[in-house]
Amino acid sequence: MLSSKALASRTTAPDAELFAIRLGVSKATSMDIECIILITDSLGFARRSVDLSVHSGQAHSLAVCSVLRSFFCSGSSHRIEFWDCPSKAKWSFHQMVHNNVTNTRVAAGLHLVTSLNALYSKSVLSCLDAWRTTFNHPTVQGYHFLTLRSKNCKPLQPSYSKSGSWLSHIG
């Protein structure tokens, strides 16, 4: 098995997945082979790796498509196959690669490259923290914010994702 690793820096899991696919496809296209088999536990990211529309991680998709174009143009028998291997299948080869990659820890340097998704996630977490701090302040809760409770009577906390925890109770 060939192994290739590179530091992904401050990224989200989706960006790291696209980066891994980019590395694998780039390495494979540099070899004298006719078929690339990409084994992944997320076919969604495999699709996104060849999606040229605007999205976070688009640079990885552009790089993948660029090397694949050269690969396909260099031989009519060249092809790429995407195989789905769910993590719950616990295929030993897939787990070995997953463990090899996720157990690698590198000390962060001074000049980190940060993905747009990582910056967005940091911004969202900061916003949610500010909301929760304000929401839980005794002079604000119950006056400027309604106290809403979930179906199991626990107080709802502010949220932005999936229409937020409050929106389903209003209207």
pLDDT (tens digit, 0 to 9) for every residue of the chain, 171 residues total?
455 656 555 667 788 888 889 989 999 999 999 999 998 888 999 999 999 998 878 888 999 999 999 999 999 999 999 999 888 888 888 788 778 777 776 665 555 555 666 667 777 777 778 777 777 777 766 666 666 777 888 877 666 665 555 555 554
Reported for 89-94, long-range contacts at CB under 8 A and 24+ positions apart, including other chains, are 93/39, 94/39, 94/41
How far CA 9 is from CA of 20, 47, 104, 124, 158, in Å, comes to: 12, 23, 12, 19, 30
Round to whole Å and give the CA distance between 43 and 20: 13
Domain boundaries, the chain: 13-114, 117-167
* 15 CB-side CA count, 13 A: 20
Structure tokens at 159: 């949220």
**pTM score, two decimals?**
0.60
